[in-house]
Structure 1
Amino acid sequence: MIENKAIATRESYGNALVEIAKEHDDLVVLDADLAEATKTVIFKKAYPERHVDCGIAEANMAGIAAGMSTCGYVPFMSSFAMFAAGRAFEQVRNTIGYPHLNVKIGATHAGISVGEDGATHQCCEDIALMREIPGMVVINPCDDVEARAAVKAAYEYVGPVYLRFGRLAVPVLNDESTYKFEIGKGVKLKDGKDISIIATGLCVSEAVKAVDMLAADGIDAEIINIHTIKPIDEDIIVETAQKTGRVFTVEEHSIIGGLGSAVAEVLAEKCPTKLTRIGVRDTFGESGPAKELLHKYELDAEGIYKQIKAAL
Structure 2
Amino acid sequence: MTDSLPARTAYRDRLAAVLPAHERTICLDTDTGLFTGTDFGTAAGRYVNIGIAEHNAMGMAAGLAASGWMPFVNTMAAFATSRAVEAIKIDIAYNAVPVRIMATHGGLSSGHLGPTHQCLEDLAVMRALPNMTVVVPADAAATEAVVDAALDLPGPLYVRMGRKATPAVPGNPEPPRIGKAQRLRAGADVLLVGCGPYPVLAALEAAEILAGQGIDAGVLNMHTLKPFDVPGLLAAAAGRRLVVTVEEHWRSGGLGAVVTETLAEHDPMRVLRIGMPDSFAGFVGSHEDLLRHYGITAEAVVAAVTQHSSPPHPSRKGIKHDHRLPRM
TM over 0.5: yes
1:5 matched to which residue of 2? 3
Q: Verify the 8 A CA contact 1:78 1:105 in the aligned structure 2.
A: yes
Structure 1 residue 296 displacement after superposition: 0.6
Q: Does 1:104 align with 2:100?
A: yes
Structure 1 residue 56 displacement after superposition: 1.2
Structure-1-length-normalised TM-score: 0.93
Residues 207 and 42 of structure 1, relative CA distance in 2, 3 Å threshold: farther
User: Which of the residues 184, 189, 193 maps onto 1:198?
Assistant: 193
Residues 44 and 253 of structure 1, relative CA distance in 2, 3 Å threshold: farther
Residues 175 and 307 of structure 1, relative CA distance in 2, 3 Å threshold: closer
Which structure 2 segments of 5+ residues have no match?
310-328
User: Which of the residues 207, 215, 218 maps onto 1:211?
Assistant: 207
Q: Verify the 8 A CA contact 2:272 2:304 in the aligned structure 1.
A: no
- Which one has the bigger helix percentage? 1
2:144 matched to which residue of 1? 148
Question: Runs (4+) of structure 1 moved beyond 4 Å?
Answer: 42-47
Q: Deviations over 1:70-95 (max 9, x none)?
A: 22211011101000111100000000
| RMSD, aligned α-carbons | 1.7
User: Which of the residues 293, 306, 311 maps onto 1:309?
Assistant: 306
Structure 1 residue 45 displacement after superposition: 5.4
Structure 1 residue 106 displacement after superposition: 0.2
Structure-2-length-normalised TM-score: 0.89
User: Which of the residues 59, 66, 77 maps onto 1:63?
Assistant: 59
Structure 1 counterpart of 2:186, which letter? D
Q: Does 1:300 align with 2:297?
A: yes
- Which one has the bigger strand percentage? 1
CA distance in 2, matches of 1:182, 1:249: 20
Alignment of 1:83-162 (within 5 A): 83-162=79-158
Residues 196 and 147 of structure 1, relative CA distance in 2, 3 Å threshold: same
Q: Deviations over 1:194-234 (max 9, x none)?
A: 10001111211121112111112221100000110001110
Alignment of 1:252-267 (within 5 A): 252-267=248-263
Q: Verify the 8 A CA contact 2:244 2:301 in the aligned structure 1.
A: no
Structure 1 residue 44 displacement after superposition: 6.0
Q: Verify the 8 A CA contact 1:234 1:266 in the aligned structure 2.
A: yes
Matched-pair identity in %: 37
Structure 1 residue 155 displacement after superposition: 2.1
Structure number with larger C-alpha Rg: 2
